[in-house]
Amino acid sequence: MENGETPGKPDAKQDGKHAEAVLPASDAPPAARVRNGWLVMLSVIAVLYALHWSAPVLIPIMLGVLISYAFSPIVNSMERWHIHRAIGSALVVLGLLGGTGWLVYSLSDEAVSVLESLPQAAQKFRKQLNSERGAGTAAIENVQKAATELENAATDAAPAASAAAARGVTRVQIEKPKVDIQSLVWTSTLGAFTFLGQLVTVLFLAFFLMAAGNKFRRKIMNITGTRLSEKKVTIEVLNEITQQIQRYLLVQIFTSALVGVTSWLAFKAIGLENAAIWGIAAGVLNSVPYFGPVIVSCGIALVAFVQFGTFGMAIWAAGIALLITSIEGFLLTPWLIGRASRINAVVVFTCVIVGGWLWGAWGLLLAVPVVMIVKSICDRVEDLKSVGELLGD
């Protein structure tokens, strides 16, 4: 043997390198753990920036995907009745447009009435608050009068200002620019065309996805790997995502419609004006976890206070709205979705905040479906099961 090495005995240096290579992450040196932590943090920041920067592209794509998930069962049923998927998808999209257009047209008079009553309602609310403040208002007025007197005294004691005026210095007064109606109309028109363009994009994407059926699923399965185990995991992940998202969206549509109709009937029973508009608002905002019911309750309290003029009626109307959304959120929805599909409440709340920060109002609606997709993937991938456990209820 060369260099006096013993046969069959491994080199000490090589054995040490091998042992260091197979050390788990928890036994890694502190410097390596710090470096990995910084890499993870930088990766998260980069992903958040990419999501925020690409919002104009990602939001229509996500909306189109979710619409296709929600209404694919209808297209599948039509296909079983020997209706081509393209025709079924077109009928679904046309049905969505027609139903939304009819709803907007039928409620247009009530919506105009609500908009016309806003200035008067704000004035009535201000008068009511002024009458309730009483002594507090008088105290504030006294403070304002004292501040005015002090300002006048300071003006009289300023000889430099008077001397400057005597020397013929021109006094300049800055006036606020008037509202440019032409610019406002132009901006509103561009915003309307942008919204219509995004709406057309979303509907076309939903149509193509529903018409494609399982083609993309087969393509994804073919490119994930050649081994049967890899294809099996891919199929399980795709099926899990489809089932969870479809169940969540169908339950969300059903519960939002139920909350809207129930709220409309309840508001109409207590004599609230434009009850249909507020019922629709309750149903739509019910799709936003936590924040939606709070916004609806506060809005209904304000509307009831302005209409009836008493705090008791405002509290009663807000309590009705909060009771309806609470029964739906804590009893009906968890029972319909099932325990396997639930996400931790803390995770939902955090994701809704982050989604609203990234994508605004659309982020509030898309946060929960995106987290459900991530959870479905993590539950089926061995290395990510700990993340799925963290997201689960």
pLDDT single digits (tens) 163-197: 544 455 455 555 555 545 566 566 667 767 777 88
Contact 374, 347 (CB under 8 A): no
Same domain membership, residue 336 and residue 194: no
For the chain, what is the domain count?
A: 2
Tokens representing 248? Answer: 């969540």
Same domain membership, residue 205 and residue 121: yes
- Classify residue 8 as left (phi > 0), alpha (psi -120 to 50) or beta: left
**Residue 76: alpha-carbon gap to chain centroid:** 29
Q: Which residue has the higher pLDDT, 4 or 351?
A: 351
Q: Which segment, 213-227, 261-275, 327-341, is predicted with the most confidence on average?
A: 261-275
pLDDT single digits (tens) 252-277: 888 888 998 999 999 888 888 888 88
Contact 262, 282 (CB under 8 A): no
Same domain membership, residue 379 and residue 290: yes
CA distance linking residue 305 with residue 115, whole number of Å: 17
Same domain membership, residue 76 and residue 193: yes
Q: Is residue 30 part of a domain?
A: no
CA distance linking residue 273 with residue 276, whole number of Å: 9
Same domain membership, residue 325 and residue 258: yes
Q: Is residue 370 part of a domain?
A: yes
Whole-prediction pTM value? 0.66
CA distance linking residue 15 with residue 80, whole number of Å: 64
Same domain membership, residue 281 and residue 193: no
CA distance linking residue 381 with residue 240, whole number of Å: 12
Poorest-pLDDT segment among 218-232, 269-283, 347-361: 218-232
Same domain membership, residue 305 and residue 250: yes
Determine the pLDDT at residue 91: 92
Contact 307, 357 (CB under 8 A): no
Q: What ranges make up the beta strands (E) of the chain? A: none
Domain limits for position 204: 54-129+186-213
